[in-house]
Amino acid sequence: MNYAMALNYQNCINCKACETACKEENGVQLGADKQRIWVGITEGTIFGKPYLNLYPSQCNHCIDAPCVSVCPTYASHIVDGGIVKVDPSKCILCKGCMEACPYDARFVDDTMVAVDKCTFCDHRIDEYGTTACQATCPTKVRLFGDLDDEDSDIVQLLKTKKFFFQKESAGTLPKLFYIVPDNESYARQSISHNTVIHTWDDFKPKYDAARDKRSKEWKR
């Protein structure tokens, strides 16, 4: 298994239901700067017309996760399914992982006195098959699933749509897939020009190779 999330980001209305559900489901510390999930906003103009893009975001559960590589105590680790986690009992709050993450996906939970981040709700996958943020989103932005299962809804979606990643050039092999809307020319103009747009066929071999190499380090 190799869990991932696809995001129809153009459906996001920034209602923050996902943030609320995440806090409730996972007992995340209260506070605006204590988030496992957030919505990034970019604004600009295309031929004089203003646009605004909302990018729902959370930990990318990167295959080549630098937060795991730098952790001196193995508090940050990858479990089965390619989910990046933190063991709070091993965290010494050196914050190396926070520095290493290109996505700013980690924060200090003062109640646990440890770094915290999205877990892909791994405690509820067996029972519900999805995450609290996907289950709550009123506009169906998210689709959680297994990249290794050819029949999964996420693979079926990625086979029929183009997609891109945030900050792919950071080289961490992220697993949040941003779905290119049907109006592709708009998307191309409103995302940064060095963003690469992928198809399933060009993406799959690269990720399979990385997964085969790194999955030996995944722990139960």
Q: Which residues bind ligand SF4 (CB under 6 A)?
A: 21-22, 25-26, 36-37, 58-62, 65-67, 70-71, 73, 75-76, 84, 86, 91-97, 101, 103, 105-106, 115, 117-121, 131-133, 172
What minimum distance in Å lies between the beta carbon of 100 and ligand SF4? 6
Closest CB to ligand SF4 among 103 and 163? 103
Closest CB to ligand SF4 among 94 and 189? 94
Closest CB to ligand SF4 among 68 and 155? 68
What minimum distance in Å lies between the beta carbon of 56 and ligand SF4? 9
Q: Which stretch of DSSP H or E encloses residue 57?
A: strand 49-58
What minimum distance in Å lies between the beta carbon of 73 and ligand SF4? 5
Strands 142-146 and 163-164: unpaired
Measured CA to CA in angstroms, residue 54 lies from 25, 57, 96, 141, 165 at distances of 23, 9, 28, 11, 14
Question: What single DSSP character describes residue 197?
Answer: P
Q: CA 43, CA 65: separation in Å to the nearest integer?
A: 29
Residue showing tokens 């995440």: 22
Closest CB to ligand SF4 among 41 and 93? 93
Q: Are 36 and 82 in contact, with CB atoms under 8 Å apart?
A: no
What minimum distance in Å lies between the beta carbon of 151 and ligand SF4? 22
Taking the CA atoms of 104, 51, 31 and 130 in sequence, report the sign of the dihedral they define. negative
Residue showing tokens 């605006």: 32
Q: Are 116 and 26 in contact, with CB atoms under 8 Å apart?
A: no
What minimum distance in Å lies between the beta carbon of 115 and ligand SF4? 4
What minimum distance in Å lies between the beta carbon of 160 and ligand SF4? 24
Neighbours of 215 (CB within 10 A): 16
Closest CB to ligand SF4 among 115 and 179? 115
Q: Which stretch of DSSP H or E encloses residue 135?
A: helix 132-136
Closest CB to ligand SF4 among 144 and 155? 144
Closest CB to ligand SF4 among 132 and 158? 132
Residue type, 169: S
What minimum distance in Å lies between the beta carbon of 21 and ligand SF4? 6
CA-based end-to-end distance of the chain: 12
